[in-house]
Chains A and B, each alone.
Chain A
Amino acid sequence: AQSVAQPEDQVNVAEGNPLTVKCTYSVSGNPYLFWYVQYPNRGLQFLLKYITGDNLVKGSYGFEAEFNKSQTSFHLKKPSALVSDSALYFCAVRDMGNTPLVFGKGTRLSVIA
């Protein structure tokens, strides 16, 4: 069975500083990994995904994530945080085909001016 762990409930970072939101996964086959962001009372917005290829994936709004197979991790990063990045971030995984995404519990990011 697939699973995702986001070890941090909350991440606080000062505006302009780099941010990292951690994610580790477990899947039987090759993982398809995703990051989504959710603003209050809104649906999910897609940030980026890793399917295959380069381990460093660049996505929307300046975010990137690095796939590390040996550590089964897919941490989300941004070089310089903005106050507007404050939101709830979800890491998700699926295996091949049309199987549904399995989500981590989410990490609330708070960027302080």
Chain B
Amino acid sequence: GAVVSQHPSWVICKSGTSVKIECRSLDFQATTMFWYRQFPKQSLMLMATSNEGSKATYEQGVEKDKFLINHASLTLSTLTVTSAHPEDSSFYICSAPGLAGNLNEQFFGPGTRLTVL
């Protein structure tokens, strides 16, 4: 099956700094990628949809200036948490829809755990 990778797998940063998380589709092209956020013991909440070659679309309540998304190529989307604060600490997961022959599938990265001190 298709593989989605994320880097880093975990990161600790100081309050006020910015953190970039990369999401890559390793063996397929993804014109669309989804970014989810998961708080401890809670469900995945969709933050935004990343679109290659155009602006990301954000879910209601998600600050687009705080969570910058760039879909630089057909295999790479990045999420930058700007001026991070402790409340931004969370598990961030990206995913991409499947290949043309399997559009119903959605493949998930392993997640990035962000801790802001």
Contact = CB atoms under 8 A, between A and B. Distances in A.
Interface of A: 32, 34, 36, 41-44, 46, 49, 51, 90, 94, 97-98, 100-106
Contact of B110 (A32, A42, A97, A102): A42
Interface residues of B, number: 25
Contacts of B49: 100
Name, among B1, B32, B49, B108, the residue most crowded by chain A CB atoms within 10 Å (CB to CB).
Answer: B108
Contacts of B43: 90, 103-106
A89 B45 CA distance: 15
Interface of B: 1, 6, 32, 34, 41-46, 49, 91, 93, 95, 97, 103-111, 113
B93 A106 contact: no
Dominant SS at the B interface? strand
B2 to A, nearest CB: 11
A42 B34 contact: no
B109 A43 contact: yes
29 contacts: A32-B104, A34-B106, A41-B91, A41-B111, A42-B110, A43-B6, A43-B93, A43-B108, A43-B109, A43-B111, A44-B44, A46-B107, A46-B108, A49-B105, A51-B104, A90-B43, A97-B103, A98-B103, A100-B34, A100-B46, A100-B49, A101-B34, A101-B106, A103-B45, A104-B43, A105-B42, A105-B43, A106-B41, A106-B42
